[in-house]
Structure formats: C-alpha cells, structure tokens
Chain A
C-alpha cells in the first residue's frame, strides 16, 4: 500500500465569513430548539425552522439530513460523520439520491450539538429540507470524467454560498433543487431538477450554461425544458435570481401538490415562462449579484487536480482471480489521468439496506481514502461512494480492504445496485416499505453470473409519491402505494435518466409485497427472451414496448389465481 499522500484539501475551504455564518446558524438553531422545548414556539412555528436545518420529525424519531455539497467529502469529514452517527445515533447513516446523509434516530435535543460538530469540520445541514433552495448536487465524476467540458464543482460551491439563507428566496412556494453537470452524459439527473445547469463553452471558448427549468419527480413528474441555450458564467446568479423571483411571486401556494416550479412552467408554457424570466432579468441584472472573475478564480483554485504521479495505464485485472476481475469490471471506472481509476464503494451489499453505511465503515473508508485517493470521498446520486483517484497498481489491495468491510459487492450498474428511499420503516411520509422489497430482490437475484448476464438494469424504488427513490426514471421503477391499509407496489418500465431522460410507463395494477421480486423476475425473463445482440434492457424495452412485459406479468398472476 502507498504511504499517506501529503494532505492537500483540493476542495473548498471555509474562510472566516463561511465559518462565522455556520457558527451563527448553529447558535440560532440552538436558541430555536430551546424555545421549542420550553413551549415558546409552537409545533407549527418550529416546523419551518427545523426543516431549514435539515430536521424532520419521522415515524420513530427525528431524521436529520446532513448536506454534502455536490457530494464531496474529505476523509476528515467522513470520519466525523461516522463519529456523529455513533455518538448521536445508532451507528449508521443513509446516503440519499441527492448526495446527502440521513441520520434516522437522533434526539431532537441533541441536534444543535450535532450541527456544532458538523460546523467544526466545515459542514452543515442548512436547507436540506423545507421550501427553499436545497443542497446543490453534481456529477460524481466531476473533475475526472474523460468527457467533461469543465469541472462543475466550483460553480456548485458558488451556488451553495449564494443560496445559503437567501433573504428573498428562503420561503418559496415549495422546495427548489439545482443540479450542475459538466459532461454530455448526465450523471446528476439534472433533467429532473427544478433547475438543471449543463456546462458549455461558446464559440470563443467562454464558459457558460445551458439552463433547464421545470423538471422534477414526485406527483406529476416532468422533464426539465431548455429555457436558455447559453448563459454566460458572469450572469449565473442574476439569472437564477430572475427565475426564482418569477417563481416566488407566481408559483402556486394554494395547493402543496401544485406548488413546484414545474407546475408554473407547465401552466404558462416554456415560452411565456421564458418571457417573464427574461423581462425580470433585464430589469434586475444591473443591480443583481455580480460574479467577478476574481471570485470565480478564488473558488476554482480550491478544486485543482491532486498531485498525480506520472504513470502508464496497466491491466490491473490481468492474472487475478475472477472475483477481483468482476469487481474491477463493475466497480471501477475510467479516469482521465493515465494510471488511475475511479473506484465505487458499493453500499448495495445483498442483505443490507441500499445506501446505508455503518460508522465503522465510514471511518475505515475515510482512512483508506487518505492512503489511496488523496483524502477525498464522493457520495453518488446512486447511493454509493466513490474513491475518485486511485492508482491502478493498488486496486487489488483496495479491493481486499473494501471486501473485508463488506463494501466490494461487484454489482455497480447491475440490477441489485438499486436506489431505494428509507420507506415506511423510517419515513412518516411513506405508504409502503422499501427495505424488505429491496432485500427480497437481492435474494431473488443473488447469483452474480445471472446478474452480469442481465447487464445494466436500473431499479429505483420509492415508498411514496414524493419519489425520493426516483422511481419514475428507473428502467424498472417501483412505487409503494397504500391499498386499504396494505403495502402494494406499482411497477413502471422504461424510465431513464442517464443521457436520455424518460419517465416510465405503468405496467398495470399494483402487486402485493411478496409478489414484487417474482414480478421483476418475470420482467427480466421477457427481456432475456427478446433481447437482440448486446441490447441492454432499456433498449429492448424501447424497441418492443410495454405489451410483452405486461402480458407476461399479468398472465402469470391470473395463472396463480
């Protein structure tokens, strides 16, 4: 194993302003919590305040959602998250589709202390819930992707700062999510965000963004539409403010289910919405927040590449056992620098809840990252972690360490690398459990050779309409529904988000919990029978459509009946 690399942060470091801000935020929330516990703040008054600090009241206990801005963590921060999960919770946390970490059992009284601990490592839980601008997310391959126009993270950091306690836009009609991606391949689900920003260069090579607006899942899922083909970087904040001002003034507040910006965009039509935004922008940009080149340069300087060694690419899998070869193939990805690969830390071991990680695992991965990946770890929107910069000549050792930690399940991109929200077991919004279903699917598809034969199939599962598990855009989507007090599941096919965003089609009537895994089995049998050479599940689906799948699934049901 390599010796520890010299510590270089290569991520944004708080300056005194940032630190003062989070410290003052903690002090404010400590006072608000005290007033709530003393009966000076009603439940209703406290709700909006705690939500904007990441705190939900859940089924069993409060749930605290900690922001991991654009998914990036230092080893020190991940170690701290492990310690917090141990000291204040039950020794584990849950990574979400928006690159955050949820603690499921903190005590409400202890939350100010948790926030203080987070602030000590330049972290917070600000605006991870509530009707405000949420934690901004990015491509987990940022800075290392072969196909990248530019690294999105500096712009995410600028947005993070601008969004923090924005005086005008912290009490919006509904939540507002922004994702930024720097590659043609959209690994950040940006088209299903309220605003998606795609980095582009104009003909002079200047950086800017294609801007999408009005995407979102939940009830009435919609794909974002292009509102502006090219927004020059210096105008980033003034343009976002124009969108948000139109939304804050005209978004619906009479019905929570119609309050997202997607409903406003749909009601007006993208062209009229664009006219309103442009009119607002024209009037406001001269007095809005400027983004001087010096500030962009200051932020960008934090995200310099690490001190890569000069290496050749090697075939790290050659001559190794099949188990390692499988892991290499499924759990590592090409890196733009020769001699390096990106390594997924799979949080999808069979028998575990997707996205869950124990304190001990967090601490071990933090240490491992310090030795082999320049002291950084990334959370991905598929609920795994990523060691972004691993030398190919240490991959075998990294695999052995991850395997010993139960974090090397070689299933990334396969059917059991599924996304699932915490579901009814934890979440008070959920209609149905997701974790039992996930485990039943893992059991049904426990044969790795079979999984590999099936190839790239994305299952995404949500326990309710709010779609935290992104079920609409799963190749196979599973949505928990309540049917006369029982947990049933509606299945959709053909959704996708990576490169070509589409919403899945409902296959038919929902199925009982025990029938979900067998139904998935029947769906993939149709694929196996119908696929043509090298065709992925989603491609077969697009070619043959819903009907053959529907017939097989419901024929089987009526036979059983």
Chain B
C-alpha cells in the first residue's frame, strides 16, 4: 500500500488511481481519475456513488474543473520535475478563488523536501513523495521557515507574516 504524508502525518493512502491494480471505476474503491478522463466521460463520473478524486496535469486549467469541484474529495496536482511550477498556481486558484476545501495532493517526481514548504504555502496538504525522499525530512521541511512575507495559505508553523490578504 502506498503511504503518503497528509496533514503532517504518515498515512496509508486509501485512494487508487484509475488504471492501478484493484481500481474499479464501477465499484466502491475511492478512485482518482485524470482530469482528461473525467472530462471525456463527465456524466458517467458525476454519477459515481463512491469517493472520487481528480488528477490535474500542469497544463490543465482549473477553471474547467470549477463547476465540478464539489464532486471531488481529492484533487491531485502534478510536479513533473524540479522546474515546473504551474501546480503552484493551480493550488492557489483552487484554494483562494474556488474555495476548494478538500484534500489537495502534490504528486510527481518533483515532490521533494526542498519544495514542500512552498507547496504547503500554496495550499497542498498532502504529499506523495518522490522516490528516494523520506517522510522524516519532508516533515522537517514543512517547518523550515517560521516567517513569511506573502499572504498565501496560512500554516500553523508561520508565526509572523508581513503582507496580509485583503480578505
């Protein structure tokens, strides 16, 4: 079973991705489907009677997802490597514009301890760590800074912040 870091705790992932062994779209397993697949058969997925999540690619526009956000208990966004920061904007939009309150999960080869603090500040609250990463280092990285300048997502470890958000 896959283990992930969720709200600072190491937990067993109860979700399966579409196409993974045991993932049954018609069954009761909590299932995360790629956004493209969701869009292709949106009506079918809207009728699913079991927990549903969606996985965004970096190029996906979160605006296209907005109307269906209430269907999802997990939104996964992808960091394919150390250089692609589009998922930071996806996360900020989901949290601040579309008020998504469910699990926001960082996935992909770029989910490493040195970016985790920024991911958390953008609203990610769960992390599927890249190969070779340790939970211990990732948890420590979440507390690397206790101050911040920007009004992004509030973290309990940030004790002081310079600029505030209007609302």
A residues contacting B by CB (< 8 A) are 16-17, 20-21, 24-25, 27-28, 32, 44-45, 48-49, 131, 161-162, 164-172, 237, 245, 248-249, 253, 283-291, 295
Contact = CB atoms under 8 A, between A and B. Distances in A.
Given A286-B166, A290-B163, A48 B145 contact: no
Nearest to B82: A48
Q: How large is the interface on B (under 10, 10 to 19, 20 to 34, 35 or more residues)?
A: 20 to 34
Contacts of A284: 96-97
B14 interface: no
B108 interface: no
B165 A290 contact: yes
B102 interface: no
The 6 A-B pairs of least Cβ separation, nearest first, read A171-B85, A167-B121, A289-B163, A168-B88, A167-B152, A167-B118
Interface of B: 61, 82-86, 88-89, 92, 96-97, 112, 114-115, 118, 121-122, 144-153, 160, 162-167
A245 B122 contact: no
11 contacts: A20-B160, A25-B145, A45-B112, A49-B114, A167-B88, A171-B88, A245-B92, A248-B86, A249-B61, A283-B97, A285-B166
B88 to A, nearest CB: 5
What DSSP secondary structure best describes chain B's contact surface?
loop
Contacts of A291: 163
A461 to B, nearest CB: 31
Contacts of A167: 88, 92, 118, 121-122, 148, 150, 152-153
Nearest to B114: A49
B112 to A, nearest CB: 7
Given A28-B144, A167-B152, A248-B85, 14 more contacts: A32-B114, A161-B163, A165-B148, A165-B149, A167-B118, A168-B85, A168-B89, A168-B150, A168-B152, A245-B92, A249-B89, A253-B83, A253-B84, A289-B164
A178 B166 CA distance: 24
Contact of A172 (B85, B153, B160): B85
A161 B150 CA distance: 8
A161 B160 CA distance: 14
A556 to B, nearest CB: 48
Contacts of A49: 114
Contacts of B114: 32, 45, 49
Contacts of B150: 162, 166-168, 289
B84 A171 contact: yes
B163 A248 contact: no
A17 B147 contact: yes
Nearest to A253: B84
